[in-house]
Amino acid sequence: MDLIRSALPKEVVDRMDLASLDVIDASFVDEEQKQSQGDLLFSIDVKRPGGSVYSGTESKRDLQIYCLFEHKSYLEPGIYVQLIEYLARIYRRQWTAFRWFSPVIPLVFYHGAKEWNLGNRLLDQMARNSGLGGEDLELLRRYIPDFGIELFNVPMMDPAALPVSEPVQLYLASVAFIRDPGVFEHLIPYLERQSNIDDIGKKVEVVARVLQYIFNVQDVESGAVSEALKMAGFSTEESEGVMATTADKLRAEGEQKGVLKGKLEGKLETARRMKERGMDLRTISEVTGLSVDELKKHQIID
């Protein structure tokens, strides 16, 4: 919720009933990445201009926010292609389930070393690559499926200065310094701020989630983690709790990835058999649920 407040324009946030924020299962967005993408689609009730929440049939007018946590350390020119595919699937699911559309706001989190130069709209990227502009742009604009993003440019921000909670500051700092070998040295001031969390269980959970993210990106020594926690004022009990909880999370994550990998391999094997039997591409895609791009990626089709 803090990130939403920080990333979106104030006039948009003011129209949201943030107390109604609810997580939507977005596993349909990308089958292969549903473990990392599944909890990143939210619905939020939209308030009337006067402040009251829509009621009756109008309460269905939820504002869905799609957040893409790619945590990219590099510029991804294809980000708008990826987003437009995800958005199309979300809108298709809305129409299939409810027969109406709610707006989706893409939030992109970037922490690369290079300056973001991909603009904030699909149209920016199209103009940059094709040279489309001037009268040609105005002539063809109506045919372009343009949309904008809200860019959360982590390198350009000071997490400690943002109006967000201490746990969110710690998370943002971990993203900002994730490629730095001395990441834990940078995180010590942010770890110290977690002392404001009175509930030890919650404190352990917050830090363990951040460590889980770091361990997934870097090969770090547990000794460096323990030293950072000690310097940040964590008690022996808290440090042991953090390390144990992190280990449990990494173990569970590994098991879940194994299950997902198994499901994908099963679909790929089905696709191979269908192709061997001469079935057409459309049928293979519909039966397995794999897109044409996925079938090409795994060399099922040329």
Residue 211 and residue 252 in one domain = yes
Q: Which two tokens stand for residue 70?
A: 């790619």
Residue 186 and residue 287 in one domain = yes
Q: For the CA atoms of the chain, what is the radius of gyration? A: 22
Question: Could you report the per-residue pLDDT of 72-102, keeping only the tens digit for each?
Answer: 767 888 888 888 888 888 888 888 877 888 8
pLDDT at 69 (0 to 100): 62
Residue 245 in contact with residue 253, Cβ under 8 Å? no
Residue 257 and residue 191 in one domain = yes
Residue 146 and residue 18 in one domain = yes
Choose the final residue of a domain: 110, 129, 156.
Answer: 156
The structure tokens 């058999």 sit at 273
Q: How far is CA 222 from the centre of its chain?
A: 27
Residue 27 and residue 117 in one domain = yes
pLDDT at 59 (0 to 100): 45
Nearest to 97 by CA among 60, 134, 142: 60
pLDDT at 231 (0 to 100): 94
Residue 11 and residue 120 in one domain = yes
Domain residues for the domain of 29 are: 1-156
Going by C-beta distance under 8 Å and a sequence separation of 6 or more, which residues neighbour residue 246?
A: 208, 211, 212, 215
Residue 188 and residue 101 in one domain = no
In 64-221, where does DSSP find H-type helix?
A: 79-98, 122-130, 134-140, 166-176, 183-192, 200-217
Choose the final residue of a domain: 114, 132, 156.
Answer: 156
pLDDT at 68 (0 to 100): 64
Residue 34 and residue 120 in one domain = yes
Residue 6 and residue 119 in one domain = yes
**Global pTM exceeds 0.85:** no
Residue 12 and residue 99 in one domain = yes
Percent of the chain at pLDDT > 70 equals 87
Provide the strand spans (E) within the chain.
16-24, 41-46, 62-72, 104-110, 150-153
Residue 3 and residue 142 in one domain = yes
In the chain, how many domains are there? 2
The structure tokens 């940040």 sit at 232
Tally the C-alpha atoms within 13 A of residue 178's C-alpha that lie toward its C-beta.
26
Residue 174 in contact with residue 213, Cβ under 8 Å? yes
- Tens-digit pLDDT string for the chain (302 aa): 788 888 888 888 888 888 888 877 666 565 544 444 444 778 888 887 766 655 544 444 455 677 666 667 678 888 888 888 888 888 888 888 778 888 888 888 888 878 898 889 988 888 877 777 788 888 888 888 889 998 989 888 898 888 889 999 999 999 888 888 899 999 999 999 999 898 999 999 999 999 998 988 888 787 889 999 999 999 999 999 999 999 888 888 887 778 767 878 888 888 888 788 777 787 787 778 787 777 887 888 77
pLDDT at 53 (0 to 100): 59
Choose the final residue of a domain: 156, 183, 216.
Answer: 156
Q: How far is Cα 79 from Cα 142, in angstroms, rounded to an integer?
A: 22
pLDDT at 33 (0 to 100): 47
Residue 9 and residue 120 in one domain = yes
Q: How far is Cα 170 from Cα 176, in angstroms, rounded to an integer?
A: 10
